[in-house]
Amino acid sequence: MKRKSSFSLLDQIKRPMPGDVGEEVDGDKVKLEKLWKLMDTYEPNDPESIQKSFARHLEYSLACTRFNFTMEDAYRAAGLVLRDRLLESLNDTNDYYRKMDVKRGYYLSAEYLIGRHMQNAIANLDLEQPFKEAFIGLGMELEELFHEEADPALGNGGLGRLAACFLDSMATLSLPCWGYGIRYSYGMFKQEIQNGRQVECPDFWIGDGCPFEIPRPDITYPVRLYGEVTHGEDEKGNWCVNWVGGEIVQAMAYDNPIPGFDTYNTNNLRLWRACPSKEFDLDMFSAAAYADSVESRRKAEDLSAVLYPNDATYEGKELRLRQQYFFVSASLQDLLRDFIKRPNYKWSELPEKVAVQMNDTHPTIAVAEMMRLLVDVMHVHWEEAWDLTTKCLNYTNHTVMPEALEKWPVEMIERMLPRHLQIIGELNLRWIKDLQKKYGDHSPVISALSIFEEGDIKKIRMGNLAIMGANKVNGVAAIHTEIIKKETFPEFYKYCCDIGKPDKIVNMTNGVTPRRWVHCANPALSAIFTKYLGSHEWLTDMTKLKGMLKFKEDSKLHSEWMEMKRECKAKLAAFVKEKCDLDIDQDALIDIQIKRIHEYKRQLMNILYVIHRYQELKKKSPGEREKTQKRVVLIGGKAASAYVNAKIIIKLISNVGKVINKDPDTSKYLKVAFVPNYCVSAAQVMIPASDISEHISTAGTEASGTSNMKFVMNGGLIVGTMDGANIEIREECGEDTMFIFGCLEHQVADIAAKAKSGHYPIDSRLQAVFQAIRNGDFSHGEPEAQAEFCSLVDRLCNIQAAGTWDGDKYLVISDFPSFIDAQARVDATYADKAKWCKLSIQAASSMAKFSTDRTIKEYAEVIWGVKPAVRPLEDR
């Protein structure tokens, strides 16, 4: 593989460019012009040309013959056909941004839950019609090809999926913004369910290669780890710091074109893969330590091998910090290199040309790395470098779970990133001096705001480092941003107010892209919107959906809307049959909860309610049962591999399903299943089919949630708490569209204290549920499962030793009665089909605020100062 081994930041590639021709000798000029001419056309997009290019890739790129290609080959060849078109657009967009010398935004994220590329790329490139025709003409269904694609699952959950939706909106809004991340060879694990339990299987998503990515062996950067810091003089005789020794890993770029919808702009998601540095250690060679040398090269590759499968929890693995520094360093080197390629650049102009967003604490070592690159490598003065850093960087907080605010042992940073520890130490010294001046030498504010946490193991708080180094800090929903100010970083917020900058902390309510989550996931609904509104403009301007409201009582729309739901439910039924071997009644109310399994998200409360519903049904006579609302409850999500309680909850759900689904008295009226391996493509099938979805976190625990938005955009209604973005969705769609229950955020502390001390009345209906569990009704004679289920219940009831456990930390017991009430309101409302349909239309049509187009516009205007740069179509 061709690879530059150590890419200095100041090293610029010299390639012949059209402007350079004068320097070529005449013969070369003619040849180059011929080449440019040959390269100066776009691939045609009519069905026949698509067919030809498909055949060419099948035969020449994949070496297939007429008789031996599989559907997977066909998918791959179709992917390459698309990639050709994406590349044209990506290259021209980059040239255009360069020509216009625009300010750029860079999104640094350790996770991108991209989901399948193909369908989305076809839609965004506006190639749906010719592609469909081309493949029908060849006797193939596009849908079948879509299913061949492995889900690139380079993320855990909401945070990674949000990053992917953001990329779609950045491109659609023609904003010059790129994403940077890690090209993990193994993404999020595949979840298998064996005997009701989660089993994690490795996901080698790359398989034989992803046809949508572009490996860039010519774009690599060295990243140093470990080693030591020495002092010396540079070539001009100035005192300087050198970080030497240790290991060098090469970061190699893989580009993933991100096409915008209804624009000619295509942006880039650049993912870094760790490769060994090129040179073999020759000393090792001669010492006959060949195997060691190979081994150390192989180790370098481990760095980008696997995504940590944790969601909102701190994972104290050294490898994780190495991954973070690896991708941050490569990304900052890359973007700074782009900056200094501009003619006559001045460092003072950096904030006018560069805005960086740090997605959660994962990339926040960027604060120290930016300082290192500016001060040590570029020789910018410390004060100026700090000024530039704090103007360019921004930080998003995604969770109120304190364990997710990363902290690294000082000892670890000292070993791995010795220069960064010095930089952080110096930054902290200056910071503390400033605080002492303001608040006095011994104010408690100082220890809270210090980057260092004292204790047996001294730690570096990445949250504090991020806030200090950021121009803006943001939360992801209104309630969450207020919690950040009040609870997560109160001292910091006070400091901002004291220095007259309260708006350093801003709110950026999350969103989702309607291209993937309505148009691709639910083509029938997309067609309804386009038909009633007279164009597909709503796909780039969701406020246009308000135009649907005047039809919300229209009986013709009602019948089309219900037909759309039926179609989605039929797809869901086939999916559930395949994944769970369960037949579901398509006339039943479909009730879905899909998200990571976590105690705060309260899947436990959901399954306890299902047991209650089952008990009520059992009490009824057959005649009475006939009158009850049929329901199918589907729950899906992955549990972090070390999260014991979450895994028990999965087992409980599976076991409850086994009992209920087989009970001849009730199975017609109630079914429940745990759907394995929840992922983006499963979501695209499940979400459009829901009538009701559950977003039932304890108030104040879910930062925002984004699947709530996807469900409502697809005409589903929500059972929810006053938490995260539920609150804002309700404001937009109307109180009647949401079934709200549970205590409010300001009530939580008191109730939790009571729960902890054990003084807690338990509703008799919940007691009956607990009793059934304790009786072993759901244990299937498995003693281990029975003990686990009882441990869950005991914990909620604080049975063993009040005060020694967290007990019912997430207030399941306290919120349970009002949860039952909310579910009863769902049934009653659903009984009136016309009313339900009206509410469904009303909600789906009021979701403009939750398009990531709105979110990203706000980021671009308020945080980044980045403006759209719409690439005009050149006539080629």
Q: Which of 652, 656, 669, 571 is nearest to 617 (CA)?
A: 669
The contact set with ligand NBG (CB under 6 A) reads 157-159, 162, 311-312, 360, 398-399, 404, 476, 510, 702-706, 724
Closest CA to 743 of 731, 734, 755, 733: 755
State yes or no: is 407 an active-site residue. no
- Return the number of the residue (80 or 177) whose C-beta is nearest ligand NBG: 177
| Those residues with Cβ within 8 angstroms of residue 142's Cβ, 6 or more apart along the chain or in another chain | 119, 122, 131, 132, 135
> What is residue 459's DSSP assignment?
E
- 670 bridge partner residues: 631
CA distance 726 to 188: 27
Closer to ligand NBG by CB, 405 or 796: give it: 405
Residue 838 phi, psi (nearest 5): -60, -45
The residue (of 125 and 404) whose beta carbon lies closer to ligand NBG is 404
Active-site hit among 706, 721, 852, 855: 706
* Residue of minimal Cβ distance to ligand NBG: 158
Answer whether 340's CB lies under 8 Å from 9's CB.
Answer: yes
| Separation of alpha carbons 626 and 636, rounded Å | 28
Look at residue 192 and give its three-state secondary structure: strand
Output the smallest distance, CB 707 to ligand NBG, in A: 8
Residue 603 CB, shortest distance to ligand NBG, in Å, is 14
We find the least distance from the C-beta atom of residue 702 to ligand NBG, in angstroms, to be: 5
Residue 432, classed as helix, strand or coil, is helix
CB atoms < 10 A from the CB of 867, how many?
Answer: 14
Q: Are 227 and 244 in contact, with CB atoms under 8 Å apart?
A: yes
DSSP string, 374-421: IIIIT---HHHHHHHHHHHEEEE-----GGGS-EEEHHHHHHH-HHHH
* Minimum distance, C-beta of residue 809 to ligand NBG, in the bound complex (Å): 16
Measured from the CB atom, the residue of 706 and 846 that comes closer to ligand NBG is 706
CB 159 within 8 A of CB 169: no
Q: Which tokens in the block code for residue 210? A: 């992803």
**Is 596 designated active site?**
yes
Looking at the Cβ atoms of 309 and 418, the one nearer to ligand NBG is 309
Catalytic residue among 398, 544, 671, 695: 398
Residue 728 beta carbon to ligand NBG: minimum distance, rounded to whole angstroms: 12
How far is it, in rounded angstroms, from Cα 671 to Cα 661?
Answer: 5
398 is catalytic: yes
- Nearer to ligand NBG by C-beta: 165 or 793? 165
From the candidates 480, 569, 595, 625, which is the catalytic residue? 595
Task: Decide if 461 contacts 405 (C-beta within 8 A).
Answer: yes
Burial zone of 377 (CB within 10 Å; 0-12 exposed, 13-18 middle, 19+ buried): middle
| Catalytic residue chosen out of the listed positions 552, 601, 613, 756 | 601
CA distances from 89 to 209, 258, 341, 769 (A): 22, 10, 22, 59
Q: Known catalytic residue: 706? A: yes
The CA-based dihedral angle spanning residues 694, 697, 703, 709, taken in that order and rounded to the nearest 10 degrees: 10
> 37 vs 32, 40, 49, 279, 819, CA distance in Å?
8, 5, 20, 39, 67
Residue 850 CB, nearest approach to ligand NBG (Å): 11
Q: Choose between 130 and 157: whose C-beta lies nearer to ligand NBG.
A: 157
Computed from CA positions of residues 711, 715, 720, 723, in that sequence, does the dihedral angle turn out positive or negative? positive
Report which of 762, 400, 823, 798 is spatially closest to residue 606, judged by C-alpha positions. 823
Least distance in angstroms from the C-beta of 360 to ligand NBG = 6
Of 273, 596, 671, 871, which one is the catalytic site residue?
A: 596
Q: In one letter, which amino acid is 248?
A: I
Q: 550 is written with which tokens?
A: 């005047």
CB of 459 to ligand NBG, least distance (A): 19
Give least dist CB 361 to ligand NBG, A.
9
Q: Please count the other Cβ atoms lying within 10 Å of the Cβ belonging to residue 245.
A: 13
Distance CA 120, CA 516 (A): 6
Whether 595 is catalytic is: yes
Nearer to ligand NBG by Cβ, of 156 and 265: the residue is 156
Question: Do 695 and 705 contact (CB within 8 A), yes or no?
Answer: yes
Whose Cβ is closer to ligand NBG: residue 158's or residue 222's? Answer: 158
Residue with smaller CB distance to ligand NBG, 307 or 404: 404
DSSP state at residue 864: I
Least distance to ligand NBG, CB of residue 354, Å: 24
Residue 759 annotated as catalytic: no
Give CA separation, 615 vs 57, 290, 594, 612, 796, in Å.
59, 68, 24, 5, 20
User: Whole-angstrom Cα distance, residue 136 to residue 216?
Assistant: 34
Q: CB-wise, 702 or 777, nearer to ligand NBG?
A: 702
Shortest CB 638 distance to ligand NBG, Å:
12
Beta carbon nearer to ligand NBG, 702 or 853: 702
CB of 428 to ligand NBG, least distance (A): 25
The residues, any chain, with a CB within 8 Å of residue 408's CB and separated by 6 or more, are: 321, 459, 460, 462
Which one of 710, 795, 838, 871 is the catalytic residue?
710
Nearest to residue 838, comparing CAs of 737, 738, 709? Answer: 737
**What is the Cα–Cα distance from 811 to 814, expressed in whole angstroms?**
5
The pair of structure tokens assigned to 737 is 């569209």
- Return the number of the residue (157 or 418) whose C-beta is nearest ligand NBG: 157
* Nearest approach, Cβ of residue 268 and ligand NBG (Å): 22
> Where in the sequence numbering do the catalytic residues fall?
398, 595-596, 601, 706, 710
